[in-house]
Structure 1
Amino acid sequence: MTRPLRLVAVSGGLQRPSKAAALCEHLMDLIADEVLCEPRLVELGQLAPQLAGAVWRSQLPDTVERELAAVEQADILVVATPVYRGSYTGLFKHFFDFIGQDALVDKPVLLAATGGSERHALMIDHQLRPLFSFFQARTLPLGVYATDKDFTGYRLQDAALIERASLAVQRALPLIQLTRQAGLAAAEEALMA
């Protein structure tokens, strides 16, 4: 039997509920509809007090270490952050500063962001994509950007955005399948060794 893929979403939202977390959950649900996976949502707003003041990973409490390990061990990542002053939040960057430099190599990452208006939509390509390129992750071709008007409460309601999210996941599936095949081949190789 094939093990479920570890699907981890990181929401850079600072409060709960958060539109970034709602976008993460929507994207995770779309992936889970297509691929057997174990979804996990990491909400950075909930970790903020434990991240504050830490300069080295060794200074972090176990609760944060578990979330960092989950991201590093994920088969697929979904990341979403609110846009703050034209970029991701400082908390989002601070969290990823603790991720091992080689931990995300070749990992598929679906990029997403939320903002007050359309004018920050390119933040995905100008801020998030370079960050994950540093990690040598495989950022997926389509990012998903949502504005406040795309939500009713904390649920996506805009038909065009819902369609784009679905298209982003559909275009990601071939890479996700390659990830699954690579994981199966590695597991088989380990058994034979």
Structure 2
Amino acid sequence: MSKNLVVGLSGNLTRPSKTKAFISHIVAEVASSTGAASTVFDIEDLGRSFPLARRIGDLDPLARNIVERLLGADVLVVGSPTFKGSYTGLFKHFFDLLDPSSLRGKPVILAATGGGDRHSLVVEHQLRPLFGFFEALTLPTAIYASDKDFANGVLVSEAIHARASQAVAEACRAVPRSVGLAA
């Protein structure tokens, strides 16, 4: 029996990371709701071959495996911390390596974190156009969490939890159940 796969990618460069914890929380909710397998990566997982890569073939086998898992996912949860009003440069570099048609029709939950509320539109003004270029199926509900929404690196805001649950429900409607269930 083949299982659906939910993959998260955090654009954060440091560990521990609120962004990765946020993405992991959303991925776990989608996986639990759909019975899918799940995995979460951050930019750091791509290793030393990544920053200088100009194409996927320039990546080492571990980094190429991460790209393949992401491309093979049934649902993506992507997010970045906000730096100067946008996603991180290496987050963008990752997507620059992908073929423009590689995410066509793939359901994507957009998320971002930042120091304050003034960056909350990063998901609409930066992330949504990026995934629009790929013709991905960006889900209507995007989620932004600021420092005040976390305590000791854990998401504590009920409003953000509710928004994440709304995005998860949209993802569940967008992805078919496991292939084995249809047999």
TM-score by length of 1: 0.88
The equivalences for 1:29-178 within 5 A come to 29-47=28-46, 49-177=48-176
Q: Distance in 2 between matches of 1:49 and 1:18?
A: 19
Structure 1, unaligned runs of 5 or more: 189-193
Q: Distance in 2 between matches of 1:131 and 1:54?
A: 20
Give, in angstroms, the shift of residue 133 of structure 1. 0.7
Q: Give the structure 2 partner of residue 191 of structure 1.
A: none
Q: Distance in 2 between matches of 1:168 and 1:56?
A: 32
Paired residue secondary structure (1:51): coil
Comparing 47-56 and 156-165, the one that deviates more: 47-56
Asked whether the 8 Å contact 2:49–2:58 carries over to 1, the reply is no
Paired positions, count:
182
Asked whether the 8 Å contact 1:14–1:46 carries over to 2, the reply is no
Asked whether the 8 Å contact 1:113–1:144 carries over to 2, the reply is yes
Q: Distance in 1 between matches of 2:174 and 2:142?
A: 15
Q: Distance in 2 between matches of 1:93 and 1:48?
A: 16
Q: Percent identity?
A: 41
Comparing 48-57 and 165-174, the one that deviates more: 48-57
Note if 1:22 corresponds to 2:16: no
Give, in angstroms, the shift of residue 56 of structure 1. 2.6
Q: Distance in 1 between matches of 2:13 and 2:19?
A: 9
AA of the residue aligned to 1:69? E
Q: Distance in 1 between matches of 2:31 and 2:53?
A: 34
Give, in angstroms, the shift of residue 48 of structure 1. 5.2
What are the Cα deviations for residues 23-65 of structure 1, in whole angstroms up to 9, with x where unaligned? 1111011112210111011111232533122223222111111
Give, in angstroms, the shift of residue 173 of structure 1. 2.0
AA of the residue aligned to 1:66? N
Asked whether the 8 Å contact 1:15–1:46 carries over to 2, the reply is no
Asked whether the 8 Å contact 2:45–2:63 carries over to 1, the reply is no
Structure 1 residue runs of 4 or more that deviate by more than 2 Å after TM superposition = 45-50
What are the Cα deviations for residues 130-170 of structure 1, in whole angstroms up to 9, with x where unaligned? 11111110000000100011111221111111111112212
Q: Distance in 2 between matches of 1:130 and 1:45?
A: 24
Q: Max radius of gyration: which structure?
A: 1
Paired residue secondary structure (1:101): coil
Q: Distance in 1 between matches of 2:57 and 2:49?
A: 12
TM-score by length of 2: 0.92
